[in-house]
Structure 1
Amino acid sequence: MVAAQIATGLRPDDLRLTTVVVVLIAASALAFASAATTPQRAAGAFGAAVAAGYAAEWIGTRTGLPFGDYHYTDVLWPRPGGVPLIVALAWGGMGLAAHAVATRAVPARAAAGRAVPARAVLYGAVGRVCLGAVALTAWDLFLDPQMLRLGLWVWAEPGPYRDVPLGNFAGWLLVSLLVMTLIERIAHHPAPAAPGTAARAGATGLVALYTVMAVMETVGFAVVFRPPDLLVAAAGGAAMGTCALLAWRGTWRK
């Protein structure tokens, strides 16, 4: 996935590489999530996130809600219902990674032999959903400017952030809250005080996936892409980087 991501910066005209990157993100996230929970829970959460993302895009291209007035070009395919399938896969793959970031930053674990109070369970779930939604929306600070560069979609009225309307990010946050709620409901369950090695490795893999995307996008916009864009590199790097640091801080404290 890293190699494919580097190749997209070196060969931006080869749009097939964009599809390869997203497919590998989704496959990596699903594999790590299967280890972190169970294959059944991971597949269910991934499928729910993909379906929610697809539905939001389908509604958005027809009504302008919740992202704003935009449409996809003819570059990405297949496009069932006018929505590129690869876009829905991106919601699923990065949705799992963003939820893992939030889970590491907002754990819900009791000491051995002690139950987690109901209020703490609720607060933990709300915290994970909210932080996960922020982490997923932070990715769009990179995603939209990059995809506009490649001509994959067009805004009817360009906005102030590299032609992206600010209302788009409010829409992303709203849909991300739905995606995080679905993943939390399906994939998250109270972990034992000492989770297995495979589960820890799977969760760490998801956080690493999110972190790698943050680093690669920051470097890409700062150095690799032509012309470079330091504004996007700084905004996206700060947003995704902060979320990633919160997750690694939670890991280091355990």
Structure 2
Amino acid sequence: MSWLLLALLVALPPWFLRCWAGVGLAAPGPSRLRWLGGGVWLGLALVGAVLWVGGSERVLAGSLALFGSLLALLAFWGGDLLWTARVQIGWTIALALLVGGGATSLLALPPSALALAGLLGAFLAQAVWLMENREARARLSRLLRRTRLWMVPLALSALVRVPVPLWPEGFALMSLLQMSLVTLAAVLWAWEKVGPRILLMGGAAFVLGLGVELLGSRSGFPFGLYSYASAPPPTLLGVPLIVLLGWFGMVLAAHVLAGGRPWLTGWLVVAWDLGLEALMPSQGYWVWQDPHPLWYGAPLQNYLSWFAMGAFLSWIYRNLAPELPHESGLAWAYRLEGLFLPMGLALFGLWPAALVCGVAMNALAWRGVRRATWFSRDGREVVP
């Protein structure tokens, strides 16, 4: 397995470069190199997560998951710069493999240790080279100058998802942490735009979300018959806190992505729920008991109600802060969810939900970006 991995590491990136760049290997575009390199390494990180969940070759799986993520960051930072030093970096990786191979033979280590040595060598060689490169340091400096406070929790919300496949028992903790970070990012982002009004918006979403969840879990209206009896803590009046945070943070992100249009926000929220209804019951957050299931136990009225809730919250946001959709930064929270949620569904073996949710979320998200309608401070529609 380790030798197969090494062969893929050597053969796949050049092949992808030929297909992606459409030119000779000596001259692919800088932007394409960064995105391609990051995508390849993220793909290998996903392979590592899948291997870990499957319980096979833990050293190899952990190495791929960890170093794949780290090398993806380096590729996004300066993949085009690293390409110019590919020969020197290649020799460094070869030396690391040689040392790793010797250690594997002398110490009778498993073959996966060789892959670990190669990945470690690749990371150290690229990290050191980038830190010594003037253009790479300039890029990092520009990035730090442009970084706003709300970007920090949003980035952390993506990073905390990485350990979930490696630590399935910590799903409840990591999911709550992730949604809390998204909510914090939403508050900080909106505070820059509308000030204290975001507290009113958050309070409205929290109260409305709590009220409709209490009504729904006790009466079956409007979502259908379901129960939070087995939900992991923390809960508020029996409703998981993560659900209430989602009604604010993720719906606000969908609202911004939709350009302030309630009907499109509703569809974005429904697309998100297509994945939640598969994932969250499998982790014990709620149990469906409805006699008319449509999708993973949830009835049609559940999705109609999610659409109505998303549209209504969007209408509230639009009236309280009509200028918010002029700034689309928080939309990345939804885009990141559209990336990580389908991946998580796939890792848990929920392939139909992964496919449907992934296609729905990303198709609607990018359509919303292209055709967003914006609003001025007095609420009038304007063309961007």
Alignment partners' CA distance in 1, 2:369 and 2:306:
24
Amino acid at match of 1:32: W
Unaligned runs of 5+ in 2: 1-156, 373-382
Tell me which amino acid in the other structure corresponds to 2:310: S
Q: Could you tell me which residue of structure 2 aligns to residue 123 of structure 1?
A: none
TM-score (norm 2): 0.52
In the alignment, which of 131, 145, 156 is matched to residue 278 of structure 2?
145
User: Which residue of structure 1 aligns with residue 353 of structure 2?
Assistant: 232
Q: Which has the larger radius of gyration?
A: 2
- Asked if structure 2 preserves the Cα contact closer than 8 Å seen for 1:142 and 1:217, the reply is yes
Query: Which residue in 1 is equivalent to 2:233?
Result: 77
> What secondary structure is seen at the aligned counterpart in 1 of 2:227?
strand
Q: Distance in 2 between matches of 1:98 and 1:248?
A: 11
State whether structure 2 residue 179 is matched by structure 1 residue 16.
Answer: no
Question: CA shift at 1:75, angstroms?
Answer: 3.5
Query: Aligned residue for 2:269?
Result: 136
Following superposition of structure 1 onto structure 2, how do residues 56-95 of structure 1 map, counting pairs within 5 Å? 56-95=212-251
Q: State how many pairs are aligned.
A: 216
**Partner of residue 41, structure 1:** 197
1:62-211 map, 5 Å: 62-103=218-259, 128-157=261-290, 159-189=293-323, 203-211=327-335
Q: Secondary structure at the match of 2:339?
A: helix
The structural deviation recorded for 1:234 is 1.8
* Structure 2 equivalent of residue 110 of structure 1: none
C-alpha displacement of 1:42: 2.0
| Partner of residue 115, structure 1 | none
Given that residues 44 and 187 in structure 1 are in contact (C-alpha distance below 8 angstroms), is that contact kept between their aligned partners in structure 2?
Answer: no
Structure 1, unaligned runs of 5 or more: 107-127, 192-198
Give the TM-score, by structure 1 length.
0.77
1:234-253 maps to which residues of 2 (within 5 A)?
234-250=355-371
Are residues 248 and 102 of structure 1, via their aligned partners in 2, closer, same or farther at CA, if it must alter by over 3 Å?
closer
Provide Cα deviations, 1:56-111, integer angstroms capped at 9, x if missing partner.
101101111110011113443232322222211110001110110111xx6xxxxx
1:226 maps to a residue whose letter is F
| Deviation for aligned residue 1:221 | 2.2
In 2: Cα distance, 1:10 partner to 1:73 partner = 27
Q: What residue number does 2:34 align with? A: none
RMSD: 2.2
Pick one of 167, 187, 196 that aligns with 1:30: 187
1:151 Cα deviation from its structure 2 partner:
1.0
Please tell me whether the aligned partners of residues 264 and 311 of structure 2 are also in contact (alpha carbons under 8 angstroms): no
Q: What SS class does the counterpart of residue 208 from structure 1 fall into?
A: helix
* AA of the residue aligned to 1:164: A
Is 2:179–2:246's contact at 8 Å kept on the other side of the alignment? yes
C-alpha contact 2:232 2:284 (8 A) present in aligned 1: no
1:215 maps to: 339
- Select the structure with the greater relative contact order (CA < 8 A; seq sep ≥ 6): 1
> Given the alignment, which residue of 199, 210, 223 partners 1:54?
210
